[in-house]
Amino acid sequence: MSPKIAPTINAHGAAIPAVGYGTMLFPEPERAVELILHALKCGYRHIDTARKYGTEQWVGEAIRASGVPRDDIWVTTKVTEENATADDFARSVDTSLETMGLDYVDLLLIHWPQPNVPLEETLGALAKAKRDGRARHIGVSNFTIPLLDEALAKTTEPLVVNQIEYHTYINQDRLIAACRKHGLLITCHAPLARGAMLEDPVILEIAAAHDKTAAQVALRWLIQQPDIGIVPRALEFSEIEENIGIIEFTLSAAEMDRIGELRHRNMRIINPQVRAPVWDDA
């Protein structure tokens, strides 16, 4: 199998492969390592994990078994909101690196905002991880426009990414515009809305025209937008191959516009009651 290497999105010296492999809600350990290994063999060079996912050990095992040089693989992990204080944050980073068997991660994110800890304290710990070489780049996840503005005003190191829920069924135009205004890239979690749009007649019609799947069209719509990357999960080898295959075709401007009109549904999939902020679209 010839590997397919995705293009990168770039900011502040970071070059992030636009198609990543998400590792949330994985199966048993043996299968998890096989899946991550297959992704690397297919050409994925971006692996997205998090302390909360419980998958960091498998990511590390797969990287070591892959034969791909460490510097060629972009690894993203995240510190959960339960570890937002400076000391807990530092311990979480150390635990992540020890669990993966890595000296550094390429991108370290604050996973969710924590209203009970001053943001400047968490940002300080995030910046320290970068200065100490534990993370090459830093960013945030699930930050709204007000939280993003606050973070950018208080950070001492450049923020590179805001990882957010974004797919064809949610309108994130205001938040995306705010990220671009401040020079932040966007990576999309839940980029298929957990399958919500895969029977949509518009997407199916466009997929048929390209001899592609609905999932490929929905994902292609995302990465064809400037400064946007994706980290979809896939639990079958065929799905892994399908997702990286989106780099092999292009949607027309008219097709992009037709799919973009589906955002009026404004369907939010990830909205945990215990930690979700007040969303911009609320």
Q: Is residue 274 part of a domain?
A: no
Place of tokens 């960013």: 139
For 200, what's the count of Cα atoms within 13 Å in the CB-facing half-sphere? 23
Average pLDDT over residues 95-110: 98
Q: Is residue 218 part of a domain?
A: yes
Q: Is residue 275 part of a domain?
A: no
Model confidence over 181-210: pLDDT tens digits? Answer: 999 999 999 999 999 999 999 999 999 999
Q: Is the pLDDT of residue 274 over 90?
A: no
CA distance 108 to 105: 7
Q: Is residue 245 part of a domain?
A: yes
- Tell me if residue 155 falls in helix, strand or coil: coil
Residue 217 belongs to domain with CATH number: 3.20.20.100
Q: Is the pLDDT of residue 180 over 70?
A: yes
Model confidence over 109-155: pLDDT tens digits? Answer: 999 999 999 999 999 999 999 999 999 999 999 999 999 999 999 99
Confidence of residue 29 (pLDDT cuts 50, 70, 90): confident
CA distance 93 to 201: 44
CA distance 83 to 229: 26
User: Considering 21, 44, 53, 166, which one is annotated as catalytic?
Assistant: 53
- Domain span at residue 104 reads 8-262
> What does the block give as tokens for 134?
């534990």
Q: Is the pLDDT of residue 282 over 60?
A: no
Instruction: Give pTM, 2 decimals.
Output: 0.97
Q: Is residue 225 part of a domain?
A: yes
Q: Is residue 2 part of a domain?
A: no
**Mean pLDDT of all residues belonging to the chain:** 96
State the pLDDT at residue 28.
78
> What does the block give as tokens for 45?
């060079």
Q: Is the pLDDT of residue 91 over 70?
A: yes
CA distance 108 to 137: 6
19 Cβ contact list (under 8 Å, min separation 6): 6, 44, 46, 219, 223, 229, 230, 243, 244, 246, 247
CA distance 112 to 103: 24
Model confidence over 148-174: pLDDT tens digits? Answer: 999 999 999 999 999 999 999 999 999
Average pLDDT over residues 25-45: 92
Give the CA distances from residue 194 to residues 72, 163, 167, in Å, rounded to whole numbers and listed in that order. Answer: 29, 16, 10
282 Cβ contact list (under 8 Å, min separation 6): none
State the pLDDT at residue 1.
62
The backbone torsions φ and ψ at residue 107, rounded to the nearest 5 degrees and listed phi first, read -145, 130
- CB-based contact 212:250 (threshold 8 Å): no
Share of the chain above pLDDT 90, in %: 95
> What does the block give as tokens for 258?
């037709």
Which residue(s) pair with 135 in the sheet?
105
Q: Is residue 208 part of a domain?
A: yes
50 Cβ contact list (under 8 Å, min separation 6): 24, 56, 77, 78, 80, 109, 111
53 catalytic, yes or no? yes
Q: For the chain, how many structural domains are there in total?
A: 1
State the pLDDT at residue 33.
95
Average pLDDT over residues 46-57: 97
Q: By C-alpha distance, which of 222, 97, 229 is closest to 162?
A: 229
